[in-house]
Amino acid sequence: MATTLKTARYLNLATFRRNGDAVNTPVWFAERNGAYYVFSAGEAGKVKRLRNSPRARIAPCDMRGKLLGEWAEAHAVVVKDAAEMDAAYRALRDKYGWQMGLLDFFSRLGGKIDQRAVIRIRAGRAPGPKRR
């Protein structure tokens, strides 16, 4: 039986290089208000790729990235709003508990927590330009 994103602990996030090649990354995620949120180092490849194009695919997976369900088209953007970022971190802490707290602790200790990026993912293709 395929796992759904409602029950999965990990999400496989596929972002796309300029040449169209997909790069798959298993990540922690949390759902909030119909969107999925993940965090990453601000200079990670997935963040750079999403700044070039919001095109993404998502699927439930295990911690090594092995798919546990079907891919779905999605679009993803780097969050800039501080309140939305705080809400995303709360949702991640609610889902991952002490593990997220431990990761936050070491990120603070290493001075990396302020260099993180939060990514909002919504299922479906990115809205295109408006036509007249």
HEC per residue, 55-85? EEEEEEECCCCCECCCCEEEEEEECCCHHHH
Beta carbons within 8 Å of 123's beta carbon, 6+ residues apart:
58, 72, 73, 74
Q: What is the pTM of this model?
A: 0.88
What digits encode the pLDDT tens for the residues 44-91?
Answer: 989 999 999 999 999 999 999 999 999 999 999 999 999 999 999 999
- Is pLDDT of 102 > 50? yes
CB 43 within 8 A of CB 54: no
**Radius of gyration (Cα) for the chain, nearest Å?**
15
What digits encode the pLDDT tens for the residues 8-22?
Answer: 999 999 999 999 999
Per domain, the residue ranges of the chain are 10-123
Class for the domain spanning 10-123: mainly beta
Total length of the chain: 132
CB 26 within 8 A of CB 10: yes
Q: Which of 104-108, 114-118, 121-125 has the lowest mean pLDDT?
A: 104-108
